[in-house]
Amino acid sequence: MAHNLYLSEVLADRIRAHGGETYPHECCGGLLGMDGEIAREVRGLFPLVNRREDSPRNRFSITPEDFRNAERAARAAGLDLIGWYHSHPDHPALPSEYDREHAWPWYSYIIVSIAQGEAQAMVSWRLSDNRVRFEPETITMGMKPNEKVAPRENR
């Protein structure tokens, strides 16, 4: 199934900037937005501190408390927590086996590659429902056209 994620240039730049700020460590944060039948859209970010203090260059960790804070922020803004972003310092923006093992279905996982402190490629992935693989999610830069917004039934 093809997945599609709308992301404004402003928010994309904020993810890139976060990755640059924390370089050579991984950055991480929540994606706040709306999920629809055809596509989903990121409307805001919830930057978080990488809690993985023992290995922040190649790992990130978001605690249940941070998770709950991100969820509250989404709810307060009338949005859903639709996914997560993190950076790969000096490494391609490809999901690793470690990413897959720890991923949840449904969420969008944006990865930005940071080379020598400079942002490179940005990609998004979703875990397949059977947990076997990541499926690529096309990032469309810009706002989602209003006519395509279709609220989820179970929100």
Partner 1 sequence: MAVKVLIPTPLRQFAGKSDTIELEARTVGEALGGLTSKFGELRKHLYTDDGRIRSFVNVYLNDEDIRYLEKEKTPTKDGDTITIVPSIAGGMIL
Site for partner 1 in 20-39 (CB under 8 A): 26, 28
Annotated catalytic residue, options 26, 53, 118, 153: 26
How far apart are CB 89 and partner 1 at their closest, in Å? Answer: 8
Question: Residue 131 — left, alpha, or beta (φ > 0 → left; ψ -120 to 50 → alpha)?
Answer: left
Closest CB 124 distance from partner 1, rounded Å:
13
Please tell me the count of residues contacting partner 1 according to CB under 8 A: 39
CA distance 13 to 117: 14
CA-closest candidate to residue 19, choices 95, 126, 118: 118
Our finding on whether 116 is near partner 1 (CB under 8 A) is no
Going by C-alpha positions, the residue among 7, 135, 25, 14 that lies closest to residue 88 is 25
Long-range CB contacts (within 8 A, 24+) of 45-50:
45/11, 45/14, 45/15, 45/18, 45/85, 46/70, 46/73, 46/74, 46/81, 47/14, 47/18, 50/22, 50/25, 50/26
Q: Is 154 in the site for partner 1 (CB under 8 A)?
A: yes
Cβ at position 26, least distance to partner 1 in Å: 6
User: Is residue 109 a contact point for partner 1 (CB under 8 A)?
Assistant: yes
- Check if 135 is active-site: no
76-95: which residues touch partner 1 (CB under 8 A)?
80-81, 84, 86, 88-89, 91, 94-95
Q: Which two tokens stand for residue 35?
A: 């999920």
Which one of 98, 138, 140, 145 is in contact with partner 1 (CB under 8 A)?
98
Binding site for partner 1 (CB under 8 A): 26, 28, 52, 55, 57-64, 67-68, 80-81, 84, 86, 88-89, 91, 94-99, 102-107, 109, 129-131, 153-154
